[in-house]
């Protein structure tokens, strides 16, 4: 492959990594939740409850106890790991979308640490080491902050898409704040699971947005088909 084709090639692979990572993450949540013998609540249960490896009451630090039993927990934990690995790989591949600036560099490493945290959530389920698992869960505020910073600096991002990215970053940070607050109070009018999803899902939506941008940029930068040799020879003969 020639050097001129490398950027478009990177953008396509980066877009693929983020698209696959996000889609498998959501599909696995639906599939694993459907395996619960008791009803899994998308507003009250944490996402991590899907990866809990034991059956019985479980309470996060400062949170309320709830019965958790996820028969397909291995599937969800593998999904967390895959999501983290592909989030990091996609960011490395899509790095050409952003200028070489200090703010971008900070956001880049925030995202990489966030992706590592996502993988850690799967490697250390909530019931095995809640402190280490909670450390991994910091991927949500870190990811939201990275989205905010990168949405301001994405090259070629039209204003409506830039505003969408900024909005998603803000929603993610608000969700992270509500998730932390929900650990210390029972007076929120919604469940802790909904707050956590407000913290987690916006970054995933942003990944799909940037993946679409990357594919558009890759198509625009890819060279057109070369002229057939016979046409090139004929053209040369007239000169």
Express each pLDDT in 189-199 by its tens digit: 677 889 899 99
Tens of pLDDT, residue by residue over 122-173, are: 999 999 999 999 899 999 999 999 999 998 866 556 677 788 889 999 999 9
Tens of pLDDT, residue by residue over 199-214, are: 999 999 999 999 998 8
Instruction: Identify which of 221, 225, 98, 224 has the alpha carbon closest to the alpha carbon of residue 162.
Output: 98
Strand partners for 235: none
Give the per-residue pLDDT at 30: 97
CB-based contact 216:158 (threshold 8 Å): no
pTM of the predicted model as reported, rounded to 2 decimal places: 0.85
In a domain, 187, yes or no: yes
Give me the domain span that covers residue 112.
Answer: 3-219
In a domain, 137, yes or no: yes
In a domain, 234, yes or no: no
239: pLDDT strictly greater than 50: no
Whole-angstrom distance, CA of residue 167 vs CA of residue 201: 12
Count of domains forming the chain? 1
Name residues whose C-beta falls within 8 Å of residue 26's C-beta, 6 or more positions apart in sequence.
204
Q: Is 12 left (phi over 0), alpha (psi -120 to 50) or beta?
A: alpha
Higher-pLDDT residue of 13, 60: 13
Tens of pLDDT, residue by residue over 4-53, are: 445 888 999 999 999 999 999 999 999 999 999 888 999 889 999 999 99
In a domain, 61, yes or no: yes
In a domain, 238, yes or no: no
Portion of the chain with pLDDT greater than 70, in percent: 82
Name residues whose C-beta falls within 8 Å of residue 36's C-beta, 6 or more positions apart in sequence.
69, 70, 71
Higher-pLDDT residue of 60, 197: 197
The 3-class SS string of 87-111 reads HHHHHHHCHHHECCCHHHHHHHHHH
In a domain, 228, yes or no: no
Give me the count of residues in the chain. 239
What's the first-to-final CA gap in the chain, in angstroms?
32
Give the per-residue pLDDT at 236: 44
3-class DSSP assignment, residue 224 = coil
Pairing mode, if any, of strands 56-58 and 66-68? antiparallel
In a domain, 190, yes or no: yes
Extract the tokens encoding 18: 């983020």
235: pLDDT strictly greater than 90: no
Tokens 């210390």 belong to residue? 184
In a domain, 237, yes or no: no
């Amino acid at each position: 492959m020639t050097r001129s084709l490398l950027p478009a090639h990177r953008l396509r692979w980066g877009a693929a990594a983020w698209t696959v990572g996000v889609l498998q993450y959501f599909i696995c949540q639906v599939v694993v939740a459907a395996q619960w013998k008791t009803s899994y609540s998308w507003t009250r249960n944490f996402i991590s409850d899907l990866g809990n490896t034991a059956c019985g009451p479980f309470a996060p630090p400062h949170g309320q106890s709830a019965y958790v039993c996820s028969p397909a927990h291995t599937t969800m934990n593998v999904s967390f790991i895959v999501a983290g690995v592909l989030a990091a790989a996609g960011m490395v591949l899509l790095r050409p979308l952003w200028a070489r600036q200090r703010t971008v560099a900070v956001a880049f490493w925030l995202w990489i640490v966030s992706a590592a945290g996502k993988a850690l959530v799967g490697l250390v389920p909530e019931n095995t080491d809640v402190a280490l698992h909670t450390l991994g869960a910091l991927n949500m505020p870190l990811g939201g902050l990275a989205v905010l910073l990168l949405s301001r600096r994405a090259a070629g991002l039209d204003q409506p898409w830039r505003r969408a990215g900024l909005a998603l970053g803000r929603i993610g940070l608000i969700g992270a704040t509500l998730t932390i607050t929900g650990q210390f109070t029972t007076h929120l009018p919604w469940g802790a699971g909904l707050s956590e999803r407000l913290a987690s899902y916006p970054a995933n939506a942003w990944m799909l947005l940037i993946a679409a941008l990357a594919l558009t940029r890759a198509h625009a930068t890819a060279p057109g088909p070369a002229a057939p040799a016979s046409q090139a020879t004929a053209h040369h003969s007239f000169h």
